[in-house]
Copies of this chain bind each other. A is one copy, B any other.
Amino acid sequence: MGNKKLGRQSVALATPPSVAGYASVVGKKEGEGPLATTFDLIQQDDTFGEKSWEKAESTMQKLALSAALDKAGLSASNLDYILAGDLLNQCIGTGFAVRGQNVPFYGLYGACSTMAESLSVGAMLLDGGFGTHAACMTSSHFCSAERQYRTPLEYGGQRTPTAQWTVTGSGCVILSSEGAGPYVTHVTTGKIVDKGIKDANNMGAAMAPAAYETLLAHFQDTGRRPSDYDLILTGDLGQLGKEIVLDLLHRDGLEVPNLEDCGVLIYDLEGQDVHCGGSGCGCSAVVLTGLLLNGMKSGRWKRLLFCGTGALLSPTSTQQGESIPCICHAVAFSTQK
């Protein structure tokens, strides 16, 4: 069969998979932010009725999957694959959410790029003829992330000015090999980029070069320009990371006024005391499955480039003095095939 590769990192899907359903589930703080009206479910109790934050995170994923399947008019038995992952050690948020679904499953680890990674792999599996339906999913939870990556919440540790706030949320997209769109038309797979940033409280600066390089690769591989998109979304660079990526693009003569960042959009940066903005796998996932896909469905936007960014560090690698390897995967959506 024909090679669908464009350049070094991109592919054009021959039969672009369609978004059959999608859903977003968030916690209280996200439900008090500027995107509140775009979410399917806002839970006031961040435990989601569970006895631990890790179990709460699994419950969020189960709720997002169930709601997305409902909106697609499908059941789990229609799914050929679930592609999912999260930030918790050994991705237990996902493992325990997928348990009991009785669906073939591939676990992914892309840190906060996981929503884009799951969509990338899912779209290629469907386009390749390996199934007709795939659920692409991820989550993060402020409390489980803080406990694991930083310090117990009870310490009340002070946050640095460059810190971001881990989103409590889960997003799920059901892709189908047939449907009325929006469609996934292109995928640009990221390479790991590490410019030597070692401050685990400055993820935006660490991830911005990965976003920049994937954007350049996407434009070069596909021959598209930034203006070919109504909106270009980076994952969760936050305010500082967004400024860095725009600055890097500017140095190449690329002005991208239509670039927004999910980590900036999801909170009121001033009013909600989140410093540089949102982060976590759930950040870009719930902005995609709320604001963005709603906007495509309503005709507000015709073409979006969704660029999930992830920082592939761990507390151990930071303690061992390592810098932060980062990645960014880009997924192009269009209302037309």
The CA of A160 and the CA of B59, in the complex, are separated in Å by: 33
The contact sample of 28 A-B pairs, CB cut-off 8 A, is A5-B80, A5-B130, A8-B104, A9-B104, A51-B320, A52-B320, A54-B317, A87-B90, A88-B316, A89-B90, A89-B314, A89-B315, A89-B316, A90-B111, A92-B312, A92-B316, A95-B312, A95-B313, A103-B191, A104-B190, A106-B108, A106-B110, A106-B120, A106-B189, A107-B109, A107-B117, A108-B108, A124-B128
- Contacts A90-B111, A317-B92; A106 near B121 (Cβ below 8 A): yes
In this complex, the member of A125, A130, A194, A312 whose beta carbon has the largest number of chain B beta carbons within 10 angstroms is A130
The CA of A192 and the CA of B96, in the complex, are separated in Å by: 9
The CA of A91 and the CA of B85, in the complex, are separated in Å by: 12
Residues of chain B lying within 8 A (CB to CB) of residue A325: 95-96, 98-99
Check if A132 is an interface residue, CB within 8 A of chain B.
yes
A238 to chain B, nearest CB (A): 20
**Which listed residue, B2, B107, B312, B316, touches A54 by the CB 8 Å rule?**
B316
Check if A3 is an interface residue, CB within 8 A of chain B.
yes
Binding site for B on A (CB under 8 A): 1-5, 8-9, 11, 14-15, 51-52, 54-55, 80-81, 85, 87-92, 95-96, 98-111, 117, 120-121, 124-125, 127-132, 189-192, 194, 312-317, 320, 322, 325, 327
Is A194 in contact with B128, judged by CB distance below 8 angstroms? no
A16 to chain B, nearest CB (A): 13
Is B96 in contact with A191, judged by CB distance below 8 angstroms? no
Residues of chain B lying within 8 A (CB to CB) of residue A320: 51-52, 54-55
The CA of A313 and the CA of B108, in the complex, are separated in Å by: 15
The CA of A92 and the CA of B315, in the complex, are separated in Å by: 10
Is B117 in contact with A194, judged by CB distance below 8 angstroms? no
A75 to chain B, nearest CB (A): 14
List the B residue with the shortest CB-CB distance to A91: B109
Is B98 in contact with A192, judged by CB distance below 8 angstroms? yes
Is A189 in contact with B105, judged by CB distance below 8 angstroms? yes
Is A90 in contact with B105, judged by CB distance below 8 angstroms? no
